[in-house]
Amino acid sequence: GESVGLHLPTLSVQEGDNSIINCAYSNSASDYFIWYKQESGKGPQFIIDIRSNMDKRQGQRVTVLLNKTVKHLSLQIAATQPGDSAVYFCAENGGTASKLTFGTGTRLQVTL
Amino acid sequence: DAGITQSPRHKVTETGTPVTLRCHQTENHRYMYWYRQDPGHGLRLIHYSYGVKDTDKGEVSDGYSVSRSKTEDFLLTLESATSSQTSVYFCAIATGPNTEAFFGQGTRLTVV
C-alpha cells in the first residue's frame, strides 16, 4: 500500500549547524502534511504543518518544504540545539480526512 | 499535553485476557485516535472517532474495538490480548480533519 518513508534513519549534526530531515511520500492524493518530534518516553509533539497549496512554511527555527512534483517533504532546523535531539516523524493524510499515515522516523543526534 | 490523559500508563497482562485502555480529554475536541507504536513501524492507526458513537477502523484494527459514549472519553479494548499486541499505545485528539493532532503520553502494554 501507499506509505510515507524517510531516507535517513539517523542524522548526526553538530550544535549550531542546520539540520535537514527528509521524507518521501507516495500517495499523490495527500494534501496535508505534519512534522512531529518525539523525545524518549513521550508522545509525539507537533512541530509544523503544511498544506498542498503551499511550497514552504516557516516557524520558529523550523521550515518545512513541500515538493509535490517529486512527492518530497523536508524539515529544516536552523542552529540545531541539544534539545532538538529526538526522533522526527513526517505524516500525511492520504487525501482522506482524519487518517494520518506516519513514516518510521529519523533520529536526530546533536553533538557538542 | 493538550489536556489528554491516558490510563493506565503501564500494564502487564496475560495472553487471552481482555484489556481496556482509556483516553480522556478536556479540550472538547471532536476527533480522537488510537495509534500503536512499534520499532520499525512508526505510528499506526488502530481506530479513530469523529464524534460521539462515531468510529471507524484504521490500518491495524484487527483484535481491537473502541467505544466513545461521550466527547471526552475514547476507550480501546483488546478483547483477548495476544503477544503481538505488546506495544506502546498513543491516544491523540484533533479539532477536525486536516488539523494537527495532539498526542498523549502513551500506555506501555506488555502481553505475556
Kindly report the backbone phi and psi dihedral angles of residue B48, in degrees, each rounded to the nearest multiple of 5, phi listed first. Answer: -145, 165
Nearest to B88 by CA among B35, B16, B40: B35
Among chain B residues, CA nearest to A92: B98
Average pLDDT score over residue span A31-37:
94
Among chain A residues, CA nearest to B101: A46
Least confident interval from A20-34, A95-109, B15-29: A95-109
Nearest residue, CB atoms, B101 vs list A51, A97, A100: A100
Kindly report the backbone phi and psi dihedral angles of residue A84, in degrees, each rounded to the nearest multiple of 5, phi listed first. Answer: -85, -10
Average pLDDT score over residue span B100-108:
94
Question: Over pLDDT 70: what percentage of chain B?
Answer: 98
- Give chain B's contact residues with A (Cβ, < 8 Å): 1, 31, 33, 35, 40-45, 48, 50, 56, 58-59, 90, 92, 94, 97-98, 100-106
Residue that the C-alpha cell 484489556 belongs to:
B19
Higher-scoring residue by pLDDT: A19, A103: A19
A27, with CB counted inside 10 A (0-12, 13-18, 19+), is middle
When the pLDDT of each residue in chain A is averaged and rounded to a whole number, the result is 89
pLDDT reported for residue A99 = 76
Among chain B residues, CA nearest to A91: B43
Average pLDDT score over residue span B72-96:
96
Give the integer Cα–Cα distance in Å for A106 and A68. 21
pLDDT reported for residue A6 = 40
The Cα of B80 is separated from the nearest Cα of chain A by a number of Å equal to 26
Contacts of A97 in chain B (CB under 8 A): 97-98
The count of CB pairs under 8 A between chains A and B is 55
Question: Over pLDDT 90: what percentage of chain B?
Answer: 87
pLDDT reported for residue A27 = 86
Average pLDDT score over residue span B27-55:
92
Contacts of B58 in chain A (CB under 8 A): 99
- Give chain A's contact residues with B (Cβ, < 8 Å): 31-32, 34, 36, 41-46, 49, 51, 89, 91, 93, 97-105
